[in-house]
Chain A
Amino acid sequence: MRGFLLLLVALLAQPVAAQDSLPPAPYAYKQLDDPAKEKSAQDLMMTLRCLTCQSQSIADSDAAMAGDMRHQVRSRIEAGEDPEAIRSWLIERYGDWVSYQPQVTAMTWPLFAAPVILLLFAAFIVRKRFGRAKPTGEKS
């Protein structure tokens, strides 16, 4: 009986603990009917950053605001908008920060150039070493 009462209290307490009393936006947790559209919405949502839980994508976050962002993404894709247009719409408002997909800009190009430079450097070192090992190998 006591356990049941505790359970009842816990169930009653749930809506009080919630941040707001409104149900989530229509498309916050509901998938689009068209699987192809849902797929492109999902792909986009995985690469958009949640504004509340700043290390999660909006696809992963349960924050109310992430739900509202998912609703925006899904209803815009349902309306036929291009995913990259939705991304630029958000970047225009929140900066590059909101997107997990890095763009090549004057500030970020070293990130893209560094691996290429390191690979070339590695190739150079490997060539030098193997080139040196060869004469010893031929001798034996």
Chain B
Amino acid sequence: MNRWPRLPIPSPSEAARPWHEARPIMKHWAIWLPLAVFGVLFALFATGLIAPGDRTIVSQMIGKPLPAFDLPQAVPDRPAVTRANFTDGKPKLLNVFASWCVPCVAEAPYLQQLADVGVEINGVAIRDRGPDVQAFLARNGNPYARIGSDDVSKIQFDLGSSGVPETFVIDGKGMITYQHIGDIRAEHVPVILEKLKEAQ
């Protein structure tokens, strides 16, 4: 009763032959194969360790129109923000920030620099309370023309933004033309001014 398939057991004559002749498929070069596989994997892992991939998430919304949004006022002395504020023909910045965000403190003076040269910055405070925003602005300066308040990060999903702070250049027709991820530092100010000029 031979119900099971037979394994290819070498016949006595086959076993007597040297190994490299017993299996014609196993050529001499094939013994290098495991080493080659090792080499490829080693190179793969080494490059991954030496130069880890970039983890920043770039928005896919650049070059697309700003989605509609309508956010309530965050502080009494600045009006609320809606999409309509970005379609009056003048390029502007849309800055997402929060009073609980440490890099936002670092970028505050550079936003002020931009505001001082006439750039209109509309801010959105993410997951924040009015008094906290006010305290933040009192401490770090207020470069914003308008400030909206978003308690559920909806504007970030609309923009393809994955954290705070992020700054978007919106041209006068409501198109997103540039995204700056992270805090704006001194070296980024000319870049953003350039992008605003390009958006004109």
CB within 8 Å for A51 and B100 given contacts A22-B127, A65-B156: no
Query: For chain B residues 132-160, which have a beta carbon within 8 Å of chain A?
Result: 132, 151-154, 156-160
By the criterion of a CB under 8 Å from any partner CB, how many residues of chain B are at the interface?
31
B151 vs chain A, min Cβ distance (A): 6
Whether B160 contacts A93 by the Cβ 8 Å rule is yes
Whether A21 contacts B129 by the Cβ 8 Å rule is yes
List, in ascending order, chain A residues with CB within 8 A of B5's CB: 130
Cβ of A97 < 8 Å from any Cβ of B?
A: yes
List, in ascending order, chain B residues with CB within 8 A of A90's CB: 157
List, in ascending order, chain B residues with CB within 8 A of A136's CB: 6, 9, 11
Main secondary structure of the interface of B (DSSP, over half): loop
Whether B158 contacts A22 by the Cβ 8 Å rule is no
Whether A19 contacts B100 by the Cβ 8 Å rule is yes
Query: For chain B residues 31-62, which have a beta carbon within 8 Å of chain A?
Result: 55, 57-61
Whether A129 contacts B157 by the Cβ 8 Å rule is no
B57 vs chain A, min Cβ distance (A): 6
List, in ascending order, chain B residues with CB within 8 A of A93's CB: 59-61, 157-160
List, in ascending order, chain A residues with CB within 8 A of B159's CB: 93
Q: Which B residue's beta carbon lies closest to that of A51? A: B162
CB within 8 Å for A94 and B156 given contacts A20-B127, A54-B55, A65-B162: no
Query: For chain A residues 53-72, which have a beta carbon within 8 Å of chain B?
Result: 54, 64-65, 68-69, 71-72
List, in ascending order, chain B residues with CB within 8 A of A35's CB: none
Cβ of B117 < 8 Å from any Cβ of A?
A: no
Cβ of B1 < 8 Å from any Cβ of A?
A: no
Whether A94 contacts B8 by the Cβ 8 Å rule is no
Selected contact of A21 from candidates B58, B61, B100, B162, CB within 8 Å: B100
Whether B55 contacts A137 by the Cβ 8 Å rule is no
Q: How far is the CA of A72 from the CA of B150 in the complex (A)?
A: 13
CB within 8 Å for A132 and B163 given contacts A68-B153, A69-B157, A93-B59: no
Q: How far is the CA of A92 from the CA of B63 in the complex (A)?
A: 12
A138 vs chain B, min Cβ distance (A): 10
Whether B8 contacts A132 by the Cβ 8 Å rule is yes
List, in ascending order, chain B residues with CB within 8 A of A64's CB: 127, 153
Cβ of A25 < 8 Å from any Cβ of B?
A: yes
B184 vs chain A, min Cβ distance (A): 20
Cβ of A52 < 8 Å from any Cβ of B?
A: yes
Q: How far is the CA of A97 from the CA of B60 in the complex (A)?
A: 11
List, in ascending order, chain B residues with CB within 8 A of A71's CB: 152
List, in ascending order, chain A residues with CB within 8 A of B151's CB: 22, 25
A136 vs chain B, min Cβ distance (A): 5
- Chain B residues with CB under 8 Å of chain A are 2, 5-9, 11, 55, 57-61, 98, 100, 126-129, 132, 151-154, 156-160, 162-163
The 4 closest A-B pairs by CB, nearest first: A93-B160, A51-B162, A68-B153, A133-B8
Supplied contacts A20-B98, A130-B6, 6 more A-B pairs, CB within 8 Å: A22-B127, A64-B127, A65-B153, A72-B152, A95-B58, A130-B8
Contacts A/B (CB < 8 Å), 13 sampled: A20-B128, A21-B132, A25-B151, A25-B153, A68-B153, A91-B60, A92-B60, A93-B61, A93-B158, A130-B5, A136-B6, A136-B11, A137-B6
